[in-house]
Amino acid sequence: MKLASLKAGRDGRLVVVSRDLTRATDAQAIAPTLQAALDDWERVAGPLADLAESLAHGAAPSFRFHEHECAAPLPRAFQWLDGSAYVNHVELVRKARGAELPSRFRTDPLMYQGTSDSNLGPRDPVPVASEEFGIDCEAEIVVVTGAMPLGADAAAARAAIRLVGLVNDVSLRNLIPDELAKGFGFLNSKPPSAFSPVFVTPDELGDAWDGGRLHLPLLTAINGRMLGCPEAGEEMTFDFGALIAHAARTRPLGPGTIIGSGTVSNRDPDGSPGRPVAEGGRGYSCIAEQRMVETIRYGAARTPFLKFGDVVRIEMKDRKGHTIFGAIENRIEPAGM
Residues forming the site for a second copy (CB under 8 A): 10, 39, 76-79, 81, 84, 94, 99, 102, 104-105, 108, 110-118, 127-129, 133, 150-151, 172, 175, 178, 180-192, 246-247, 249-254, 256-257, 335-336
Q: How far is the CB of 180 from a second copy (least distance, A)?
A: 5
Non-local (6+) Cβ contacts of 79 within 8 A are: 113, 116, 253, 254, 256, 257, 258
Instruction: Give the SS3 label for residue 5.
Output: strand
φ, ψ of residue 157 to 5 degrees: the values are -65, -45
How many CB atoms within 10 Å of residue 89?
29
Closer CB to a second copy, residue 133 or residue 209? 133
| Minimum separation from the CB atom of position 271 to a second copy (A) | 26
State the Cα–Cα distance between residues 99 and 301, nearest whole angstrom.
Answer: 17
Q: What is the smallest separation between the CB atom of 221 and a second copy, expressed in angstroms?
A: 24
**Distance (Å, rounded) from C-alpha 316 to C-alpha 209?**
13
For residue 333, the tally of other CB atoms under 10 A from its CB is 15
Q: Smaller CB distance to a second copy: residue 120 or 287?
A: 120
> In the complex with a second copy, which residue's Cβ is closer, 52 or 85?
85
Report the nearest approach of a second copy to the CB of residue 224 (Å).
Answer: 27
DSSP string computed for 73-85? SSSS-S-EEEE--
113 or 323: whose CB is closer to a second copy? Answer: 113
List of residues 6+ apart from 128 with CB closer than 8 A: 135, 170, 172, 191, 308, 332, 333, 334, 335
Q: How far is the CB of 175 from a second copy (least distance, A)?
A: 7
Work out how close the CB of 163 gets to a second copy at its nearest, in angstroms, rounded to a whole number: 16
Based on CB atoms, which residue is closest to a second copy, 107 or 269? Answer: 107
Q: How far is the CB of 310 from a second copy (least distance, A)?
A: 18
Nearest to 199 by CA among 331, 83, 316: 316
Q: Do the Cβ atoms of 123 and 67 come closer than 8 Å?
A: yes
- Shortest distance, CB of residue 182 to a second copy, whole angstroms? 5
Residue 98: Cβ within 10 Å count: 7
Do 230 and 218 meet the contact criterion of CB atoms below 8 Å apart? Answer: yes
**Closest by CA position to 167, among listed 82, 276, 253, 256:** 82
Rounded least distance, CB 259 to a second copy, Å? 12
Pairing relation of β-strands 13-17 and 23-26?
Answer: antiparallel
- Whichever of 55 and 170 has its CB closer to a second copy, that residue is 170
Q: Is 178 helix (H, G, I), strand (E, B) or coil?
A: helix
